Amino acid sequence: MKQKLIFTNLVGQAIDTLVAELGTPQVVVVTDTNTAQFVLPIIVNDSKVVASAKLITIKSGDSNKTLDELKNVWMRLAESEASRNTVVINIGGGVVSDLGGFAAATFKRGLRYINVPTTVLGAVDAATGGKTGINFNGLKNQIGAFAEPEAAIISTIFFNTLPQQQILSGYAEMLKHGLLENPDVLGKLLAFSPVYPVFNSEAMMPLLQDSVMVKANIVDQDLTESGLRKALNLGHTIGHALEAFAFKHQNPIPHGYAVAWGLVTELILSHTLQNFPSDEVHRFAQYVKTNYGAFPITCDDYPELIAAMRQDKKNANADSINFTLLKAIGEPVLNVVATPEQITAALDLYRDLLGLA
Ligand code: GLY
């Protein structure tokens, strides 16, 4: 494993220790406008390194994961006279770690970088595993590189003030990791409430740790997604289709919500095609219904959703729709092809289970 994973709420201290270990005095912090305003002051208080680092601030939001913002970061790195000894510290959510990581990976053929995620989705997914990049030509993550960070510092201290939707959005990726790992990890996740006022960010730390390790173990075996890493696409073939459909109909939904509903539908498909136990489908669907509600679709929407699934970049050709499914909790099966009829039946059951039909 190249990336070092540090789980701590003493973030400033961890950054200073890590930079000392890396033996470099030259540090550039990449962050975004939101994080610079609300989070950075907390870290600056506890970290001499961050307090004295050069700061590059990009605009917040996925719509700014662009070539223009990337160019700005490259320009600022050049103005800062960044060298191969410079360490870039990305402090923020997925946009910051994706764009900042790609800027680091490409500037002077590669600078070392550290991720400090400040959102649940960032901590559990974007900040580890080395997928970096930007959106391009209207498509997400079209330009990028696999480049692992030196380290990710994973903490929960920034989560207490996050909007409810953002917590649930990240939590869906944790549920996915639980499904991929084992009944114990999944059981703990289903027993936890990520919903205010019950939500307690500190109590989430052990769950977060389990979850990040599930992903790290997979990435360790297959960084470039030639095999096993495809397991991390569980829930995403249908999830991405729902996300694209919602966006097109001016009703955008957070990524993780789409994943939660995608997971329910892909567990139904797993039952049909891989004998995944139906009681587990029901238990999982109930949790999603309670916490995420349901994305409203009717059978008239199926052709458009299935067309969106055909566009998924995991399909080798547009004639087949390819899924990662489960035989059982902890037993993923890669590259399962489902027919439009099977997907239609699964969407019908999604609507039944989540109370839409
Ligand atoms: N987000 C899934 C992966 O990193 O492969």
User: Does the Cβ of 126 fall within 6 Å of ligand 1?
Assistant: no
Q: φ and ψ at 108, to 5 degrees?
A: 50, 40
pTM: 0.96
> Strand 112-117 to strand 151-154: parallel, antiparallel, or no bridges (unpaired)?
parallel
- Contact between 340 and 284 under an 8 Å Cβ cutoff? The reply is no
Reference 245, options 309, 193, 164, 192; nearest CA is 309
Average pLDDT, the chain: 96
Task: Name 25's Cβ contacts closer than 8 Å, sequence gap at least 6.
Answer: none
Cα(129) to ligand 1 centroid in Å equals 7
Confidence at residue 320, expressed as pLDDT on a 0 to 100 scale: 80
Nearest CA to ligand 1 atom 2: 232
Cβ atoms of residues 285 and 264 within 8 Å: yes
**Encoded amino acid at 133, one letter:** G
- Can you tell me the distance from the alpha carbon of 215 to that of 230, in angstroms, rounded to the nearest whole number? 11
Angle at 344 between CA 342 and CA 347, to 5 degrees: 110
Going by alpha carbons, the residue nearest to atom 1 of ligand 1 is: 125
How close is the Cα of 232 to the center of ligand 1, in Å? 6
Average pLDDT over residues 39-57: 96
Which band of pLDDT confidence, cut at 50, 70 and 90, is reported for residue 311? confident
- Residue 221 near residue 228 (C-beta atoms within 8 A): yes
Asked whether 125 lines ligand 1 (CB < 6 A), one says yes
Q: Are 149 and 114 in contact (CB under 8 A)?
A: yes
pLDDT band at 25 (very low <50, low <70, confident <90, very high): confident
Residues 6 or more apart in contact with residue 204 via CB below 8 angstroms:
156, 159, 192, 194
Has residue 138 got a pLDDT over 90? no
Determine the pLDDT at residue 317. Answer: 67
- pLDDT at position 312 is 77
Going by pLDDT thresholds of 50, 70 and 90, the confidence category of residue 286 is: very high
For the stretch 153-178, pLDDT in tens is 999 999 988 999 999 999 999 999 99
130 lines ligand 1 (CB under 6 A): no
Nearest Cα residue to atom 3 of ligand 1: 232
Whether the CB of 94 sits within 6 Å of ligand 1: no
Say if ligand 1 is within 6 A of residue 173 CB: no
124 lines ligand 1 (CB under 6 A): no
The pick from 132, 229, 263, 324 for probing ligand 1's pocket by mutation, whose C-beta has the most ligand atoms within 8 angstroms, reads 229
**pLDDT given for residue 247 in this prediction:** 92
Say which residue the tokens 């955008």 belong to.
252
How is residue 346 written in tokens?
């699964």
In sequence order, the 6+-apart residues with CB closer than 8 A to the CB of 176 are 232, 234, 235, 259, 263
Written as one string, the DSSP assignment of 179-216 is HHH-HHHHHHHHTS--STTT--TGGGHHHHHHHHHHHH
Instruction: Determine the Cα–Cα distance for residues 250 and 5; give it in Å rounded to an integer.
Output: 38
Q: Which residues 6+ apart lie within 8 Å of 151 measured at CB?
A: 3, 4, 5, 6, 18, 114, 115
CB 239 within 8 A of CB 261: yes
From the CB of 230, is ligand 1 less than 6 Å away?
A: no
Q: Which residues are paired to 146 by β-bridges?
A: 131
Q: Is the pLDDT of residue 1 over 60?
A: no
pLDDT for 318 equals 64
pLDDT in tens, 70-129: 999 999 999 999 999 999 999 999 999 999 999 999 999 999 999 999 999 999 999 999
What distance in Å separates the CA atoms of residue 254 and residue 34, rounded to the nearest whole number?
18
Whether the CB-CB separation of 235 and 258 falls below 8 Å is answered with: no
260 near 292, Cβ under 8 Å? yes
268-284 pLDDT, tens digit each = 999 999 999 999 999 99
As beta bridge partners, residue 112 has 87
Please work out whether the CB of residue 254 comes within 6 Å of at least one atom of ligand 1: no
At 357, which amino acid appears? Answer: A
Alpha-carbon span 138 to 278, nearest angstrom: 39
255 CB within 6 A, ligand 1: no
Buried b vs exposed e over 300-312: b needs ≥16 C-beta within 10 Å?
Answer: eeeeebbebbbeb
347 within 8 A of 265, measured Cβ to Cβ: yes
Which helix (DSSP H) or strand (DSSP E) does residue 161 occupy? none
d(CA 11, ligand 1 centre) in Å: 24
Q: Tens digit of pLDDT for each residue in 180-229?
A: 999 999 999 999 999 999 999 999 999 999 999 999 999 999 999 999 99
